[in-house]
Structure 1
Amino acid sequence: GNEKENQNNQSKDPTNIVFDKENNSFIIYDREKRRILRYFDKKQTNHEIIISNIDCKGLTIDRNGFIYVSDWENHEVRRWKQGDKKGELVAGGNGEGNRLNQLNFPTNIFIDEEYSLYISDSRNDRVVKWKKDEKEGIIVAGGNGYGNSLKQLDSPRGVFVDHLVQIYATDYGNHRVMRWCDGDEEGEIVVGGNGDGNQSDQLSFPTGLSFDNEENLYVVDQENHRIQKYEKI
C-alpha cells in the first residue's frame, strides 16, 4: 500500500522547479500528470497539488510568493496566488498569434523587481516584456522572423534579465545564447553560435539558463545531456 501511495506522491517527469523562500518549499511541474505540485520536504512525501491539467513550459515566482505559469497550449501566462482555484491572466490569452496582445506557444518566463514579465514567445521567435497590468507586450529581443542574424531568434527558450536590464535568451534553434541590451535593435552572441555540436564552444538545442551570485552563467545544453558553466561573461 505504501509503495503505491509513494508512487502517487512522486513526480515521475519533473521539468520545471522553483524554490519558494516564504514557505521553504519546492514548486515542481509534473509533466506526466500535467500538474504543478508544492513539496514541503525533499523526500517528496508532503505535497499539495496547486494547479491541475496544464501544459506548463515556464514557471517562476515573485517576491510576494505569487506563482507565474506559462501555458503552452492556451498561449497565455497566469499568476496564481496562494489558494487560487483559477489563476489571473497576466499575458496573452487572446489566442495564438503574433499581435502584441498575443503569444504563440510561450515557454520560459522571468519576473523582475518591478513585476514586469519577460516571456520567451517561441513560435513568434521573440522575447516580449509585459509590464504589470498592461494589456499587451513590448518586443525586447528578436521579432524579425526566425533566422540566425543578430536581429533574429529561432524558438527561444530560457530567459534571464540582469540588474543592468540586459536580456539573456537561449536561442534554441541557433544553438547559442544571446544578450540584448534594453532598446537595442540587435543582440550579441555570448555563448555558442558555432553550429550544432558537442565541442566546448558549441551547444545543441539549449533550453534553460541561470546565473549564480558571482555572475557565472549556466546553460542547459539539452541534446548534449550536459550543463555548461561559463565564467563571468
Structure 2
Amino acid sequence: MRWPRRNGTQGEIIIENVLCTGIAMDKDKYLYVSECERNEVRKWLMGEKIGTIVAGGRGQGNGFNQLNSPSCIFVDQDYSVYISDEKNHRVMKWIKDATEGIIVAGGQGEGNDLARLSCPRGVIVDPFGTVYVADTKNNRIVRWSKEAEDGTVVVGGNNQGSLQAQLYSPQGLSFDQQGNLYVVDRLNNRIQKFDIVPNSSSQ
C-alpha cells in the first residue's frame, strides 16, 4: 500500500499477492520487496505487474545463490541489496546484477558468540559500508565492518530485559542525520534511541 503524505486516509495498492517481510527503495525509486515464502527479493518499478528477482529465487537453502526466509532489506547507493537471511542466521549482500550473494555478517550457524547470529532481522548500512544488524534472538545490535569475521556488540547483548541498556526481540533499525541509532524494541513495546560510538574504521 502507498499513502500520499497530504492525504493519509486512503491507500493505493501497488503490489498484490506477496507475503512481504521487508521493503526498501533505491535512489531511482525502485521498490525492493523480500518475500519469505518464495525465498527471494524482487525489484519493482511503480506500475509493473511482475517484479525482477535480484536475490534468491532458487528455492530454500543455504547456498550463496539461495535464501531461507529473507526478512528486512537495505539498498545502498550502488544498488547493492543487503538481506537479513533469517533462518540461515546471516546477512547477505547482493551486488547489482550478481547471480549469488556475499556473506557480510554471520553465516557460521546459529549462536551467540561474535561470529554468529540468531534470526537476524533489521539491517542498515552506514556510508562506510559498516553493517548494523538486529540480532533478534540474541537481543542485541551487532556491527560488522567490511570483511570482518566477527561482529561488535553496540547495543544490548546483556540478556533480554526492559532496562535502557537492554533489548527484547529487536527488529527494525534506522539512523538519523546525526548518526543516532533507532531500534524497534519489539517485545518491550518501545522505540529506543542510542548515541553509539562510531566504528574506528569509519572515522
Q: Verify same fold: TM over 0.5.
A: yes
Sort the TM-score into its range (normalised by shorter chain). Answer: over 0.9
Deviations 1:166-188 (A, max 9, x none): 10000001000000001000000
- Measure, in 1, the Cα distance between the counterparts of 2:19 and 2:82: 19
1:185 aligns with 2:182: no
- Measure, in 2, the Cα distance between the counterparts of 1:39 and 1:146: 38
- Measure, in 1, the Cα distance between the counterparts of 2:10 and 2:192: 33
Residue 139 (structure 1) aligns with:
103
Residue 44 of structure 1, CA deviation: 3.0
| Counterpart residue identity of residue 96, structure 2 | K
1:222 aligns with 2:186: yes
Question: Aligned-pair RMSD on alpha carbons?
Answer: 1.0
- Measure, in 2, the Cα distance between the counterparts of 1:106 and 1:46: 29
Map 1:195-214 to 2 at 5 A.
195-214=159-178
1:164 aligns with 2:128: yes
% identical equivalent positions: 51
Deviations 1:45-74 (A, max 9, x none): 443211111111100000111000000111
Residue 50 (structure 1) aligns with:
14
Residue 144 of structure 1, CA deviation: 0.3
Higher RCO by CA contacts (8 Å cutoff, separation 6 or greater) = 2
- Measure, in 2, the Cα distance between the counterparts of 1:176 and 1:116: 25
- Measure, in 2, the Cα distance between the counterparts of 1:207 and 1:193: 14
Aligned length: 197
| Counterpart residue identity of residue 108, structure 2 | N
Residue 231 of structure 1, CA deviation: 1.4
- Measure, in 1, the Cα distance between the counterparts of 2:192 and 2:123: 16
Q: Give yes or no for contact 1:214–1:232 (8 Å, CA) kept in 2.
A: no
TM normalised by structure 1 equals 0.83
Query: Higher Cα Rg: structure 1 or 2?
Result: 1
Residue 164 of structure 1, CA deviation: 1.3
Deviations 1:24-59 (A, max 9, x none): xxxxxxxxxxxxx11124543443211111111100
- Measure, in 2, the Cα distance between the counterparts of 1:80 and 1:187: 32
1:60 aligns with 2:24: yes
Q: Secondary structure at the match of 1:51?
A: coil
Q: Secondary structure at the match of 2:187?
A: helix
Residue 84 (structure 2) aligns with:
120
TM normalised by structure 2 equals 0.95
Residue 95 (structure 1) aligns with:
59
| Counterpart residue identity of residue 75, structure 2 | I
Query: Structure 1: 5+ residue runs without aligned partners?
Result: 1-36
Structure with bigger strand share is 1
1:38 aligns with 2:11: no
Q: Give yes or no for contact 2:154–2:196 (8 Å, CA) kept in 1.
A: no
Query: Structure 2: 5+ residue runs without aligned partners?
Result: 198-203
Q: Secondary structure at the match of 1:47?
A: coil
Residue 49 (structure 2) aligns with:
85
Which consecutive segments of 4 or more residues in structure 1 shift more than 4 A? none
- Measure, in 2, the Cα distance between the counterparts of 1:42 and 1:204: 35
Deviations 1:123-160 (A, max 9, x none): 00000000000010000000000000000000000000
